[in-house]
Amino acid sequence: MTPKPKKITKTASTASSTANTVTQDFKEAYRLALKSYKEQVSSDARLKLIDIFCAFLVVIAGVQTLFMALIRDTFPFNAFLSGFIICVGQFVLLISLRLQVQEPFEGVPKNRAFGEFVIASLILHFTTLHFIN
First to last CA, the chain: 43
C-alpha 63/C-alpha 53 separation (Å) is 15
Nearer to another protein, 49 or 116 (CB): 116
CA dihedral (88, 92, 98, 101) in degrees, to 10, reads: -140
CA quadruple 89, 85, 62, 23: dihedral sign:
negative
Binding another protein (rule: CB under 8 A), the pick from 9, 28, 52, 63 is: 28
Site for another protein in 37-76 (CB under 8 A): none
Q: What is the smallest separation between the CB atom of 59 and another protein, expressed in angstroms?
A: 17
Q: Which residues are within 8 A (CB) of 51 and not within 5 positions of it... i.e. 6 or more apart?
A: 41, 98
Can residue 97 be called a binding residue for another protein (CB under 8 A)? yes
Name the residue among 102, 77, 91 with its Cα closest to residue 124.
91
Can residue 111 be called a binding residue for another protein (CB under 8 A)? no
C-alpha Rg value of the chain to the nearest Å:
21
Can residue 129 be called a binding residue for another protein (CB under 8 A)? no
Can residue 100 be called a binding residue for another protein (CB under 8 A)? yes
Q: Which residues sit at the interface with another protein, rule CB under 8 A? A: 1-6, 8, 11, 21-22, 25-26, 28-29, 32-33, 35-36, 77-78, 81-82, 85-86, 88-89, 92-93, 95-97, 99-100, 103, 105-108, 112-113, 115-117, 119-120, 123-124, 127-128, 130-131
